[in-house]
Structure 1
Amino acid sequence: MPLRTARAHPSGVVRPRRVGLAVAGADPAAVNGPYGYGSMRVAAALALMLQRLPEVEACYLIMDLPGDGVFPSDHFGLPTLSAATDLTGIDTVIEVDAGALGQRNAELFKQGGGTLVSYVWRNIAADSFAHMSVGIPGDLPLTGELYDAVWLPEPLWETCQAFARYTRSQNIVKTPYLWSPIPLLSMLNAERISPFWRPAPKKALRVGVFDGNDRPGNTFQLPLLAAENAHRLDERAIASVLLFGGLRLKDWYHMGQMLLISDLSRDGRVFVEAEHRLRAVLGEHVDMVVTHQWPDTPTDLVLDLLFLGWPVAHNIRSLSDAGYFYTPFDTADGGRAILTACRKHQGRIDNYRREAQAALSRVSIDNPDNIRAMSMAMSALQPGRR
């Protein structure tokens, strides 16, 4: 059953706004491309939502183009502006990447009466601590109290509200987490591939771990331990575990120590890989995915896998009724979830898809409650300047 499309919530706004989404320049040569799991994907979903709102007249992408690549403007008709362009016709800029507009550009935009919003889509507190610990700047917000508001998705409210209030704006607005299959489907259509679930060629499943190893709470350790627990319960269940994005850590002492104590590794079933596109390995080298997120917030990775029908073992409480949920940080429970997927997924695929559809509808850009919430967030901003 397809997701329902709802009409936008009516509001008292008389004149719709022209909105720009500011993102940092994407590297089209990156292995996952601009439509991987980063700000470009977030911007695409946000733009698709904003285009549904009566408060929005037009939506633009603001970025410095790095060269040839696949961008939201290619598929969704978003005009693309440079951050240094005269933004006189733009009423509101929403920074998807912190500081993407640039300090001077933001100051000029504000002086002209524009409204500036910081859109938080990942754990900015954990990211800041990670960047500080290794001595790199990371994504730094603009200074000088330039932000009129921070839009903070509900799953990040508990962990990021105080940090956002201190570093960006006192005006924190709770918004829904947004997801759409449209960016994924447009990308798949362009590449002419169909990575929807299909039965594994053998009974033992090939497990993929795509956690990025780029910040706390998004690393390979807990998924590997969950797979290890599954292997110790049933040595026939897992054919291999592929740790994608871990190749740069292969000589890291901690990874070496973990592999030394792993029965899976001693049995020759753990492989440390470079980054690969998820859509390119599903069904070819990977039969299921295991992930662990801290905090346990939705990710496009898990939502895409649910949409495509692939078994995914995860710890996201708000999606506990879909996929193969296990208690956060409980890798023994994670092992049991993996075994359930190995043994039962093919036989319960119809139920799996129904459960996934219900979960996806809660975060969909077509969900009436989500449209209403975003409409209210837009209406709460000060009137535009045109």
Structure 2
Amino acid sequence: MIQAPRFTKAHLRIGITIGLHSENEDLWINGIKQNALALASLLNSSPRGHDVCLLNTTAVSLDAGLAWNRSEFPTFPLEDKVDEIDVLIALGGAVSSDTVKRVRSRGGRVVVYKCGVEYIMSMQATLFNRSMKGRPDYPEGFDEIWAIPQVIRSSGPFWSVLYRRPVRCVPFVWDPRWIEAQAASLPGHGLRDERTGPLRISVFEPNHDVVKFCLYPLMIAELVWREHPELIEFVSVTNTEHLRTNPEFLGVVEHLDLVRQHRAFFENRFTTPWFLAHHTDVVVSHQWENPLNYAYLECSWLGYPLVHNGSLAADLGFAYEGFDLEAGARQLIQALRQDHLSAYRERQRSRIARYLCNHPGNVGAYDQLLDGLFDKKAPSAVKEEHAC
């Protein structure tokens, strides 16, 4: 039975979509499910007492178990709840134009929530014949497009044209509970310890695309190795199983002293907290058009000195600008010499607080966004407030 909407700003029924590909799907396959859970946690933190659920858009059974507690995060097939919600947030999985019309026909609101560099992914899929798991679809009729700050510069115009709507920049939110749960059984609960002497450097770029690629972090370490080899024990470059036989990659890295002197190791994929706890003292990163990501927050939360070029998190770790590898090397030297690590960790956590899903500023900003869905006269200053 279709229930009539009862839209009051003080209390909304909100569904956030996910798209499970298999039963018992791991939370760490990608960041999308963490995005959905963090957003659900934030909306649950609102003093307005919203009713929030996760809605799976695929036919995968939910009975085999999920990576989260369903009593805290109620999770249903989309079809079971689509006629009972006031706001549908299309975050993960595919939402059809029929679903959009169905919610809006009752006076409900539908938002598409973007947290990936989709223009770059589409460009690479087109140019290099990469599979994107189906033909892309951009249904019309959404009330608004919400996008997190780190993706809006490259992909905001792309979405605005395709969805025929302006794009609103919304706060990026994060919940440390998942990294802490992963780290709980690790040595020292996964926290960086006070190890001294030559240190172990790790690079965690996924190496799927041009956005986050391992070569510049490796080159930053190379510059330090040439001047201060006493600071480095070895460098681990993860997520490289598909690169170890690539002639272009091999032809470049064989010119590095770290490779020639067998101080660089090219590893497979591992969960971040496990590799941090067992093989890492310092993390080096580089990105192109994704200046804030989970890896920065995960490493910093656990107290690992992080060298990175993420302009939206320049106060975290040891930041350098753009493609300036020499500046990155100078920052890496400082990171390798960092002491008083417990104090360093606490400083990092205090700076990360602005991203947490229970931060009052974030909770208030999202309630303002929800207000704006039902009152087009509501202020539209969210964009300026969140560094977009």
Task: Name the TM-score, length of structure 2 as normaliser.
Answer: 0.85
- Asked if 2 retains the 8 angstrom alpha-carbon contact of 1:239 and 1:269, the reply is yes
| Offset at residue 268 of structure 1 (A) | 0.5
| 1:72 lines up with 2:65 in the alignment | no
* Equivalent in the alignment of 1:233: 227
- 1:43: how far off? 1.0
Can you list the C-alpha shifts for 1:128-175, whole angstroms capped at 9, x where unaligned? 212222223527764341321111223333333211211234142221
* Amino acid paired to 2:38: A
Q: Retained in 2: the 8 A contact 1:210–1:291?
A: yes
1:39 maps onto 2:35 in alignment: no
Q: Are the structure 2 counterparts of residues 291 and 26 from structure 1 closer, same or farther at C-alpha, using a change threshold of 3 Å?
A: farther
- Residue 383 of structure 2 aligns with which residue? none
Question: With CA pairs under 8 Å and 6+ residues apart, which has the higher RCO, 1 or 2?
Answer: 1
The 1-side partners of 2:23 and 2:315 are apart by: 36
Q: Distance in 2 between matches of 1:28 and 1:197?
A: 34
Q: Residues of 1 paired with 2:149 and 2:90: CA distance? A: 18
Q: Shift in Å at residue 215 of structure 1?
A: 2.0
Q: 1:260 to 1:14 in 2, by over 3 A?
A: closer
Contact 2:220 2:329 in 1 (8 A): yes
Deviations 1:233-276 (A, max 9, x none): 21222222211111112111221112211110001011111100
In the alignment, structure 1 residue 260 sits paired with structure 2 residue 222: no
2:97–2:140 Cα contact (<8 Å) kept: no
Stretches (4+) displaced over 6 A: 190-193
Q: d(CA) in 2 for partners of 1:96 and 1:308?
A: 28
Listed as ranges, the gaps of 5+ residues in structure 1 are 1-11
Relative to structure 1, the CA distance from residue 88 to residue 193 in structure 2 (aligned partners, 3 Å threshold; closer, same or farther) is farther
Q: Please say if 1:304 is aligned against 2:298.
A: yes
Work out whether 1:323 is the aligned partner of 2:317.
yes
Supply the distance in 1 between the matched residues of 2:286 and 2:240 (Cα, whole angstroms): 15
Q: Could you tell me which residue of structure 1 aligns to residue 163 of structure 2? A: 168
Q: 1:287-342, CA deviations, whole angstroms, 9 ceiling, x for partnerless residues? A: 22111122252111111111111111111123222211122211111112222111
Contact 1:209 1:244 in 2 (8 A): yes
Q: Are the structure 2 counterparts of residues 36 and 185 from structure 1 closer, same or farther at C-alpha, using a change threshold of 3 Å?
A: farther
Label 1:73 to 1:283 Cα distance change in 2 as closer, same or farther (>3 A). Answer: closer
Paired residue for 1:365? Answer: 357
What's the % identity of the aligned pairs?
22
Q: Which moved more, 1:155-164 or 1:133-142?
A: 133-142
Matched, 1:62 2:63: no
Paired residue secondary structure (2:373): coil
**Whole-angstrom CA distance in 2 between matches of 1:196 and 1:294:** 28
Q: Which residue of 1 aligns with 2:286?
A: 292
Aligned length: 365
**1:355 matched residue in structure 2:** 347
Question: What SS does structure 2 have at the residue aligned with 1:355?
Answer: helix
Tell me if the contact between 1:119 and 1:152 (Cα under 8 Å) persists in the aligned partners: yes
Contact 2:183/2:274 (CA < 8 Å) preserved in 1?
Answer: no
Structure 1 letter corresponding to 2:163? R
Counterpart residue identity of residue 62, structure 1: L
Paired with 2:199 and 2:272, the residues of 1 have a C-alpha distance of 16
Correspondence 1:44-193 to 2 at 5 A:
44-54=37-47, 57-63=50-56, 64=58, 65=60, 68=64, 70-74=66-70, 77-85=72-80, 87-97=82-92, 99-138=93-132, 142-189=137-184
Distance 2:188 2:88 in 1: 35
Query: Are the counterparts in 1 of residues 200 and 235 from structure 2 also a CA contact under 8 Å?
Result: yes
TM-score (norm 1): 0.85
CA distance in 2, matches of 1:182, 1:303: 12
Offset at residue 193 of structure 1 (A): 7.5
Q: Residue 115 of structure 2 contacts residue 148 of structure 2 at CA under 8 Å; is this kept in 1?
A: yes
State which drifts further: 265-274 or 167-176: 167-176
Counterparts of 2:219 and 2:33, CA distance in 1? 31
- Tell me what 1:278 maps to: 272
* 1:205 counterpart residue number: 199
Secondary structure at 2:307 match in 1: strand
Range that drifts further, 12-21 or 160-169: 12-21
More deviation, 184-193/44-53: 184-193
Q: Deviations along 1:348-384, whole A, 9 cap, x unmatched? A: 324423431332022222322222211111111138x
Deviates more, 1:350-359 or 1:286-295: 350-359
Equivalent AA in structure 1 for residue 300 of structure 2: L
Q: Which residue pairs with 1:377 in the alignment? A: 369
